[in-house]
Amino acid sequence: MMNDADKQELETELEHKQALVRALKARRRPLELQAVRKGINVDPEVAVDLEELTHQIQAFEGEVNELRIQLAEGDIPLAEVEYRAALAAAWEPGRPTVAGAANLEWVRVRSGIKPERAEEMEREVRATLAEEAIKSLRSTLFNILSYHNLQHEDYDGEIARHRYIIPSIFDAPSEFRTDLGRAIRLDISVAIPSFLARIDSDRFRVIFSNRIVVNPQLAELLGTDDDTDDTIDDMRYENITVFFEHEPALLANPIKAFARWLRDTLMLDNNIEVEDPDYSLIVTFVKAVAGRLATNSELSSEEDEATTTSTPE
């Protein structure tokens, strides 16, 4: 923002330019009278002076208008407009490339933007781009629902199957989740509320969860009935994503299972590895979505606390 000294300087310059315009117009008036009275017989020098004065007046009036714009906006607009455009172009993919970052710094230095102001502008641009990325996702991806099934197995033969009803965005083609990943990288604080605001709270929940043991020794030890197999027959021919895990807590908790699947899916679609800086952003986003799923599914307080306080690794 413009400080008081800069504003005062602009106001003084504006008054000066306005005074020049008034003085030039005052000089032009008698020459205009001569030109009107003499018509085509006007002295050539008068015609030349008139043309020169008119050009000067137009130039100073342009400067007056520019100064008025700067005062109205409270900053020096041309430099910031140029830098803001460079920011938008560099951050559009979600992260600047090495070349993009170098070009940004060159534009900043050339435009005279101070580092503190550049950081502030970057946050503003990234937030705007993140919100735009979420809003650009088609409404049908949130309004149309689909069933989603997950099956988790450990190496001792214990199986957990969970069925969810979810917005289609989660099962949409990967390019939509790439747009989602771009919003997450741009500004996680904007991406989370903007995304959750588009999810119908009444239409995103766990609708079935079942756990069985198929290993005979474990079944005998735990007293599991053979009838438990019947509870999963309805899902046998559905599209099921299967994971092999050693974590009983993951097997038993449908929220943790969904969080693990969503995290892995977003990482795959956005080419993110665990060691990447963006990994923590993906985890933060997934925890927020899992928290919404847990709330909608009305889990017990113990399960809900376990879900929201643990990070799927």
Tens-place pLDDT, residues 109-120: 988 889 999 999
**What dihedral do alpha carbons 108, 110, 113, 114 form, nearest 10°?**
90
- Identify residue 223 by its one-letter amino acid code: G
Tens-place pLDDT, residues 127-157: 999 999 998 888 888 888 888 888 877 766 6
Give pLDDT, residue 72.
66
Q: What is the mean pLDDT of residues 46-70?
A: 87
With residue 242 as reference, give the H or E element that holds it.
strand 240-244
Instruction: Quote the pTM value.
Output: 0.64
Tens-place pLDDT, residues 69-92: 777 666 555 778 889 899 999 999
**Rounded distance, CA 181 to CA 94, Å?**
8
Tens-place pLDDT, residues 8-43: 888 888 889 999 999 999 999 998 888 888 877 778
In this structure, are residues 91 and 126 in contact, taking their beta carbons and an 8 Å threshold?
yes
> Degrees (nearest 5) of the Cα angle 151, 156, 159?
20
In this structure, are residues 209 and 117 in contact, taking their beta carbons and an 8 Å threshold?
no
Quote the percentage of the chain above a pLDDT of 70: 78
Quote the percentage of the chain above a pLDDT of 90: 33
Tens-place pLDDT, residues 150-200: 887 776 667 888 888 888 888 887 888 889 999 999 999 999 999 999 887
Domain chopping of the chain, boundaries? 4-73, 141-309
Map residue 280 onto helix, strand or coil. helix
